[in-house]
Amino acid sequence: MKSLALLSLAVVLSACGSIKIARINADPSRYANRSVTVTGRVVNSVGIAGTGGYQIEDNTGRIYVLSRSGVPSRGSVVKVTGTVAPGVQVLGNPVGVAIREEQHRVK
């Protein structure tokens, strides 16, 4: 019984981990409109009046993040949770796959 409880806890904790950015970029339709968590370093960021966007990278790739709750500084390491949105355009320019941020935490 104790081993079953430990196994259940391990499954729950593993579901809370970050997904590699390359997995999202390789198959965006699999993750479309689903909540994901990714961790990476901010390589570009633009913000105006608490909204904006930024690009993060991990050791597998880069992805854009659209935010309505502030934009972290370039060089920051962040953990982002949000909804995957394929085919995003910013200022009329296609940027491809992005994450619509629900929350982020600077590490």
38-81 pLDDT tens trace: 999 999 999 888 789 999 999 999 999 999 988 999 999 999 99
Q: How far is CA 17 from the centre of its chain?
A: 12
Give one word for 44, left, alpha or beta, with left for phi > 0 and alpha for psi -120 to 50: beta
CATH of domain 18-106: 2.40.50.140
Domain ranges (residues) in the chain: 18-106
Residue appearing with tokens 């920051």: 76
Determine what percent of the chain is predicted with pLDDT higher than 70: 85
Residue 94 binned pLDDT confidence (cut-offs 50, 70, 90)? confident
For residue 3, pLDDT over 70 is answered with no
Q: What is the model's pLDDT at position 92? A: 83
Output the pTM of the full model.
0.82
